Structure 1
Amino acid sequence: MPLIMNIEDIDSLDGLAPRACELCRRKDKVFRCSACLAVYYCGRDCQVQDREDHKIPCKLLRKAHKRYREEEQKLREWQEDLDTPENVFEEHAGRFWRIMGTRPYMVARFDLAHIMNDSYGTPGGPRDLVQDMLDHYLDMLRLSRSDGLGVREIIPALYVRLGRDQDAYDFLRWYADVNENPDYDWGNMSLPFVDTKNADALEEPLQRAWTAKSYLDLSHAVTLLLVKVRILLDLQTVQNTTTALGGTFPPEIIGLIDGKLVRRDTLLRHQSLLSRPEKLEPLMKKIKSQIREVYKAVGEYNPHFWNLMVNNPDACVLQRPQLDGYAQRSEEEALFILDYTFAAWYETPGAVKMLRDLAKS
């Protein structure tokens, strides 16, 4: 996997790369590598020139795609036995992990998405690839609500990488709420599932889910903090613009808020606040307080995490532990969650600097 240490100008990262030729970065008239389905080229010349760098990840992805397709075909053609019924895709979506015969398929699909990330998922990587990863994980969650492979830990940061902060927050909020409901039946397909919409990302962090001292869902807390940091960065941009305009917001500037000054969809539903300069300072103070609270909770829960995120993000690749579980609060836990979340942080200009400032305060 490409490493952060090899990115020439890490501070220049701002989101994901658009679809473009892997070698010359041309954006028009590009075609997808038919073997790995991960990168694009503008023509054979660039594809040949890039072959030396591309051949290893291409081979790994080609094998992973082949295994995934084969396992899917076997499962679709399955003859019913004591462990696995027929027509599982049509009749048993949501319960896959409870059916033993589906597990080779689920593991093959998980491994495919994992190899995608290892090959081209570094910060600033291809948007199409991250979207493909998210699509795989979301469909795996649809097929297996009980989530035996833990894809719910990976999904929120992928939403953020794609600029879908509101979807990330809705996902986090749904799990925070359902985890408080001991009567929720994961095997009952008639119950609502990950259906929270337009939850208020400006609200106070839920203590039971994101700032608890006894147990913390580390991946969700780290991504929740990033959502808050991205909100604050947008608010600072709006405040700086207000200051430059002498403390007023002409109508034509208010029109720029949507998608220009404010890029996070978590804030667009609060435009009435953004268009009133007197509301900005109290709102920023509130979000800063929330950020400090979650940052402190994460640091107290796992003392390894923030040091790795800021000073050694490549450790999640270079020191990756085996996929056989980890102890809570351990360095191994920190490395796993770092792998799921660090790209979203480094693709957000100003986010890692904010972490450094928090460490000094």
Structure 2
Amino acid sequence: MGDPAASKGLIGPLIHRCQKCKAGEAREKFLRCRYCRAVRYCSIEHLRADRSSHKSACKGISKARVKLAKEDRLVRSLPADGDMPANVFETGVGKFWHFQPTRDYLRTRYILVERLHTLGTLDSYAQALKHMHDMMRLDRADHLDVQDIAPYVMLSLDLDQESCDFIKGWGIQGRKIVKGTDIFESADSILGVNNLYNPKASSLLLRLKLLVDVINVMNARKVLPLTPLPVEIQIIIEKNMVRSPLSAHLHKESTQALVERRGKLVRGILEFSQRLADDHNESFMFEFFHVALSVEPRRRPGLSYGEREAVMARRSYPAWRGTEGVLQLLDNAGACAMKTPVMNLKGMLYSYRDKLGQRYSRSAAEQLKYEILEVIWDYLPWAVEDATYLGPPAERPSERYRKLENERVFKNMEGMMFQNEHLKDAMRGLASGNGVCE
């Protein structure tokens, strides 16, 4: 449905790796760029070879650091007066933005956070998160909306419990520090008074991440007993099939417990996705599958509500793409929706419309893709069952469900008369279980 290759960002956990050749942590030692201190190299040769590519980002981060240090000294040197307390970094904690001279400092720090976030390395994310925590400590009202990025950075760093705690804490009136939030709490319990887009979307991503872990362990448990590997080795492999620290115990769970956990996660995902659809744009996933995200989108004044949500969706994309298996699972859910009789009929009608030369804002293919993304969550359970099915493709759960839905639709429309021969052919195809938009 999209073109992941056209989008930036690596897939999988953030690890120290060479910025040039992408060699990972198997190496004992990396050289770090001494200017930005946010990228690493496996050799001095690769550091030099990558200099031209890295130069722009490196300069941007270095300049932002220099400017931040200057603003820091300026704020600390300001004398106390009626509008500014003495030692504001200690006495103004929580209400930092209230004092006019501190605002340039916070804005400059936010620019540094954005540039570190854009770089997308383990070092840059860790540094960005440290800045964000301190900015939110100083300015509890979060006038620069640091909370928009923070949960995604935590998820990218696999700080999954911390992400869930952060979202719940910021949903409490007055914003409190929360520890040990139960991942299976309801959306109302976790979101609280927070009705913004990003807490819902990041909560959704976390549950999808945990769902992929469960699927991986279930599949490993089906395949490994067929190998001659000792049980001890099979357990080690199961342990390494998960990414989230919250899934570290899954190898100890029974298969039935995994099935139940999978069901609870799917129900939670559908609950959060429904909240997104009700409160925001029901087709917000369109940004992930339709647009090649090659440029870091920036917030700009004057954006409409829908445009601002689109920017937020695109800014969170590295976390979605980096969480291996999530977009693939949603892509499979879209493929399940594509094969349903309703989408088959719509696809045929939109194609027929295009042949007639009628002008619309979207082509038939684009319109169908858009409508699939509007119902993608309805077909996530089909895709999840397919993901843990290892039998013949023709007998996948989604194929069985599709045939049942085809039969139901055909029976409901059996008595209707169609004057259009194209529709007659379409109904015959649906009745036989063959789609017209395969």
2:95 — aligned with what?
A: 95
- The answer to whether the Cα contact below 8 Å between 1:313 and 1:338 also exists between their aligned partners in 2 is no
Within 1, Cα distance between the matches of 2:148 and 2:178? 17
Within 2, Cα distance between the matches of 1:175 and 1:325? 26
Within 2, Cα distance between the matches of 1:65 and 1:30? 23
Cα gap change, 1:21 to 1:234, in 2 (>3 Å): closer
Q: CA deviation at 1:98?
A: 1.4
Correspondence 1:148 to 2:129: no
Q: Specify which of 300, 315, 322 is matched with residue 323 of structure 1.
A: 300
Within 2, Cα distance between the matches of 1:56 and 1:164? 29
Question: In the comparison of the two structures, how many residue pairs are matched?
Answer: 327
- The answer to whether the Cα contact below 8 Å between 2:213 and 2:242 also exists between their aligned partners in 1 is yes
Q: CA deviation at 1:246?
A: 6.0
Of structures 1 and 2, the one with the larger relative CO (CA 8 A, separation 6+) is: 1
Within 2, Cα distance between the matches of 1:305 and 1:276? 36
Q: Specify which of 8, 11, 16 is matched with residue 19 of structure 1.
A: 16
Structure 1 segment 1-361 matched on structure 2, within 5 A: 5-6=5-6, 13-16=11-14, 18-25=15-22, 27-118=27-118, 120-121=119-120, 126-176=121-171, 178=172, 181=173, 184=174, 194-206=176-188, 209=191, 216-244=195-223, 252=232, 256=236, 259-268=239-248, 275-300=253-278, 301-314=280-293, 317=296, 320=297, 322-324=299-301, 326-328=303-305, 330-339=306-315, 341-359=316-334, 360=337, 361=379
- Cα displacement string for residues 271-292 of structure 1 (whole angstroms, at most 9, x for unaligned residues): 59x5222222222122112212
Q: CA deviation at 1:355?
A: 2.2
In terms of mean alpha carbon deviation, does 91-100 or 141-150 score higher?
Answer: 91-100
Within 2, Cα distance between the matches of 1:44 and 1:253? 38
Cα gap change, 1:257 to 1:201, in 2 (>3 Å): farther
- The answer to whether the Cα contact below 8 Å between 1:310 and 1:355 also exists between their aligned partners in 2 is no
- The answer to whether the Cα contact below 8 Å between 2:160 and 2:206 also exists between their aligned partners in 1 is yes
- The answer to whether the Cα contact below 8 Å between 1:165 and 1:264 also exists between their aligned partners in 2 is yes
Greater fraction helix: 2
- The answer to whether the Cα contact below 8 Å between 1:21 and 1:30 also exists between their aligned partners in 2 is yes
- Cα displacement string for residues 143-171 of structure 1 (whole angstroms, at most 9, x for unaligned residues): 11111111112111111000111111111
- The answer to whether the Cα contact below 8 Å between 1:97 and 1:103 also exists between their aligned partners in 2 is yes
- The answer to whether the Cα contact below 8 Å between 2:224 and 2:234 also exists between their aligned partners in 1 is no
Q: CA deviation at 1:199?
A: 0.9
TM-score, normalization by structure 1: 0.80
- The answer to whether the Cα contact below 8 Å between 2:167 and 2:190 also exists between their aligned partners in 1 is no
| Greater gyration radius | 2
- The answer to whether the Cα contact below 8 Å between 1:316 and 1:336 also exists between their aligned partners in 2 is no
Q: Secondary structure at the match of 1:244?
A: helix
Within 1, Cα distance between the matches of 2:247 and 2:186? 15
- The answer to whether the Cα contact below 8 Å between 2:12 and 2:323 also exists between their aligned partners in 1 is yes
The amino acid that maps onto 1:200 is: D
Within 1, Cα distance between the matches of 2:216 and 2:196? 31
Gaps of 5+ in 1: 185-192
Q: Secondary structure at the match of 1:206?
A: helix
In terms of mean alpha carbon deviation, does 42-51 or 218-227 score higher?
Answer: 42-51
Q: CA deviation at 1:7?
A: 6.1
Within 1, Cα distance between the matches of 2:185 and 2:105? 39
Q: CA deviation at 1:351?
A: 0.3
Within 2, Cα distance between the matches of 1:280 and 1:333? 35
2:421 — aligned with what?
A: none
Within 1, Cα distance between the matches of 2:35 and 2:153? 24
The amino acid that maps onto 1:334 is: A
- Cα displacement string for residues 131-150 of structure 1 (whole angstroms, at most 9, x for unaligned residues): 11111111111111111111
- The answer to whether the Cα contact below 8 Å between 1:84 and 1:102 also exists between their aligned partners in 2 is no
Q: Secondary structure at the match of 2:38?
A: coil
Cα gap change, 1:321 to 1:93, in 2 (>3 Å): closer
